[in-house]
Structure 1
Amino acid sequence: MIDKNSPIPIYYQLEEEIKRMIQDQLKPGDLLPSEREYAEKYDISRMTVRQAITNLVKEGLIYRQKGRGTFVAERKFEQDLSGLSSFSEDMKNRGLIPSNKLLSFHVISGHTWISSILKTEPTDEIYEVKRIRMANDEPLALETIYTPKHLVGEISDKDLFMSFYDYIEKKLNLEIAYGNQTIEASLAHEEETQYLNIKKGDPVLVMHRTSFLKNDQETPIEYVKSIYRSDKYKFKMQMKRD
């Protein structure tokens, strides 16, 4: 409910009220009341309602369709950053079906930047794999994997339609110990628009991760760059105060 005597701004109270409705009562695709209906229900100005609605649109919780109204958006996929898991594992844990579309697969060498990350010689051969990661056939991320050929052996196209972590751990019997990961905000370029059903300039989340084997040398086994749709994906983590 809206408390007009509260020091909390009314538009923010309305935002929280709508969020509760989305969480408890509504489902993706449901039509929300109009600005006029909200204004009459809570006896507040339409300008206040418009501010609350605009903020929720920016958060990606709802979306507007001209001439039709405002609707509840699809819920974002959420990845917990407190552990190291693969895309496929995350999707399966949500009851979704993960899949890949292979875009390119070849061997490269002579690239010092990736050799320095994977701690290989510049002349060593490295697999470069580019694929689209999907859940229930919906594209969520554009992924590029780099992995040393001498560590993973001969890879076939068929191997790349499974989780790469599964390939490493189940087929090669290698154990992944940990990964170093960064995430940054960016804007979609032309390549992402081709594969992720988004527009150039749309916000995306870019993840860089290097995974290491469990051995004395802590050998890098994989470097991956993943570009996620920010309208479909979000990350969370638990932070403890020292």
Structure 2
Amino acid sequence: MSKHLYMRVSEVLEQRIADKTYPRDSLLPTEQELQQEFGVSRATIRNAMKMLVEKDLVHRVRGDGTYIKSAKTQHDALSHSGFTEEVEQQGGKASTRIISFQLQEADEYVAQKLDVVTGDQVYFIKRVRMINDVPEVLEHSYMPFALFPDLSVETIQNSKYQYVEHKLGHKIKHSREKVYAEGISAEDSKPLKLKSGTPTLCVEAIGVLEDGTIFDFAINRFSLKQYSFEYTSPRSTVIQQ
């Protein structure tokens, strides 16, 4: 078996996935069909397929075959787009399931994040964000009651950003984000259909309006089944040595 041979087969299959000769979510040809097409051994095809699995391009379903994975939605950390906007702009279907919506007093930690006084009334919102009906993000969010006295379950069923900008007329300046990995708790694992302790990517985000007012503090836990992160780091300073 030639290493270069199975790599070349893998490259051809990867190109077919990229140019949609094999559409997303479609079933790949069988190993036997690929053997006949490329004139290679079964071992060569299996090694080529292993490369595609390692690149997260396909997934195997026992007793059925190998399927092309759906393209992941990309999150641009430097843009001001919300979850709904990003997913829909990239051809996906975004939806939301509300788990909790309630008023409560801000504890010291939340008050510091929102720049309000401890004990002030804030909304606590817990919701699951889905891509194509698959749970992808669990969000714990806090918003000051004083800024949004008319906030409702119906409103947050959709995009908070659209509500803040389009309905209320505020202009969002930016979102400050902190990213870290963390094993998910037993309670939070259930909405995302994960096992307790599964590693997730956590993104703490503080939303800031044009006038500097903080309007939202959210902790988002991503399962990363259908989401990937993209960062662009500008070179703003040249260091002479």
Specify whether residues 225 and 9 from structure 1 end up closer, same or farther in structure 2 by C-alpha distance, changes over 3 A only.
Answer: farther
Distance, in Å, in 2 between the alignment partners of 1:241 and 1:39 is: 48
Deviation, 1:127, is 1.1
Specify whether residues 32 and 96 from structure 1 end up closer, same or farther in structure 2 by C-alpha distance, changes over 3 A only.
Answer: closer
2:200 corresponds in structure 1 to 204
Normalised by the length of structure 2, the TM-score is 0.81
1:165 corresponds in structure 2 to 161
Distance, in Å, in 2 between the alignment partners of 1:16 and 1:203 is: 30
Q: 1:158-201 CA deviation, whole Å, 9 max, x = no partner?
A: 22222111221223222211111133344444334422234445
Distance, in Å, in 2 between the alignment partners of 1:12 and 1:32 is: 17
Aligned residues: CA RMSD: 2.8
Distance, in Å, in 2 between the alignment partners of 1:239 and 1:80 is: 11
Does structure 2 conserve the Cα–Cα contact (< 8 Å) formed by 1:38 and 1:49? yes
Specify whether residues 188 and 19 from structure 1 end up closer, same or farther in structure 2 by C-alpha distance, changes over 3 A only.
Answer: farther
Specify whether residues 239 and 42 from structure 1 end up closer, same or farther in structure 2 by C-alpha distance, changes over 3 A only.
Answer: farther
Specify whether residues 52 and 116 from structure 1 end up closer, same or farther in structure 2 by C-alpha distance, changes over 3 A only.
Answer: farther
Structure 1 segment 1-242 matched on structure 2, within 5 A? 12-24=7-19, 25-34=21-30, 41=38, 43=40, 46=43, 49-215=45-211, 218-242=212-236
Specify whether residues 153 and 26 from structure 1 end up closer, same or farther in structure 2 by C-alpha distance, changes over 3 A only.
Answer: same
Deviation, 1:222, is 0.6
Number of residue pairs the alignment of both structures matches: 233
> Identity over the aligned pairs, expressed in percent?
27
Distance, in Å, in 1 between the alignment partners of 2:46 and 2:207 is: 46
* Gap regions ≥5 residues in structure 1: none
Distance, in Å, in 2 between the alignment partners of 1:203 and 1:70 is: 25
SS at match of 2:18: helix
2:239 corresponds in structure 1 to none
Deviates more, 1:50-59 or 1:14-23: 50-59
Q: 1:110-132 CA deviation, whole Å, 9 max, x = no partner?
A: 52111111111112122110111
Distance, in Å, in 2 between the alignment partners of 1:83 and 1:191 is: 31
Distance, in Å, in 2 between the alignment partners of 1:60 and 1:199 is: 20
Specify whether residues 167 and 29 from structure 1 end up closer, same or farther in structure 2 by C-alpha distance, changes over 3 A only.
Answer: closer
SS at match of 2:147: helix
Does structure 2 conserve the Cα–Cα contact (< 8 Å) formed by 1:81 and 1:236? yes
Distance, in Å, in 1 between the alignment partners of 2:22 and 2:198 is: 27
Does structure 2 conserve the Cα–Cα contact (< 8 Å) formed by 1:60 and 1:231? no
